[in-house]
Chain A
Amino acid sequence: GAVVSQHPSWVICKSGTSVKIECRSLDFQATTMFWYRQFPKQSLMLMATSNEGSKATYEQGVEKDKFLINHASLTLSTLTVTSAHPEDSSFYICSASPGEAYEQFFGPGTRLTVL
């Protein structure tokens, strides 16, 4: 149980294009989903927290208009990187939780490369 999937697992795009990453909880309802970014050899940095049906809460320094997050259902959250640039190349990981008191379950991650 507690499986989280991400799609795509990797993506290469040209600078200036937008990329959408999906995060799905497969066998539980996720009231809260989290989006992280991880650069090589570094730790996971939380980008935003999304709760189903409400606006995402972004961490300080994360541009809301660049990283659009939608959590339209209890099993799906999407992260759209708009007008991607090479510096946005990173490993994007989502996690999902069935509730505040529960552990977070991580997806397999999406490796984004912007040329």
Chain B
Amino acid sequence: GQSLEQPSEVTAVEGAIVQINCTYQTSGFYGLSWYQQHDGGAPTFLSYNGLDGLEETGRFSSFLSRSDSYGYLLLQELQMKDSASYFCAVREFGDYKLSFGAGTTVTVRA
């Protein structure tokens, strides 16, 4: 089985930088994904890390360290529209299912 841990809530002001950490335990790690979900909406894909290192996509970056079973999502230049829930999700070899963390609610204040 898998288990993932991420903080439940983060609050920050517009323009700030937020880092959401995710630690995981899994028997056959394949990759770590990040998803954003606004209230009432479906998850949208943000980033994926299959190898160690940093992946940058605009204001969002994601990092993975497989040896530490750890990754993070970095949100830069926060905007009000970034207020949402963010989920890390692990994929395993063999079935490629996604196991989601409990989610981090990010609240951006003016």
Contact = CB atoms under 8 A, between A and B. Distances in A.
Interface string B15-52: 00000000000000000010100001111110010000
Interface string B73-110: 00000000000000100000001111111110000000
Given A44-B87, A103-B33, A103-B48, A109 B42 contact: yes
B96 A97 contact: yes
A87 interface: no
Instruction: Choose among B48, B99, B100 the residue with the greatest number of A CB atoms under 10 Å from its CB.
Output: B100
Contacts of A8: none
Contacts of B100: 43-45
A93 B98 CA distance: 13
Nearest to A99: B96
| B interface residue count range (under 10 / 10 to 19 / 20 to 34 / 35 or more) | 10 to 19
| A interface residue count range (under 10 / 10 to 19 / 20 to 34 / 35 or more) | 20 to 34
Interface in A88-115: 93, 95, 97, 100-101, 103-109, 111
Contact of A108 (B33, B41, B48): B41
A93 B42 contact: yes
A49 interface: yes
Nearest to B105: A41
Interface in A41-80: 42-46, 49
B96 A100 contact: yes
A100 to B, nearest CB: 5
B44 A106 contact: yes
Contacts of A93: 42-43
A104 B98 contact: yes
A44 B97 contact: no
A106 B100 CA distance: 14
A28 to B, nearest CB: 14
A40 B35 CA distance: 17
Interface of A: 32, 34, 42-46, 49, 93, 95, 97, 100-101, 103-109, 111
11 contacts: A34-B98, A43-B103, A44-B87, A44-B100, A93-B42, A95-B98, A101-B96, A103-B48, A106-B43, A108-B42, A111-B40
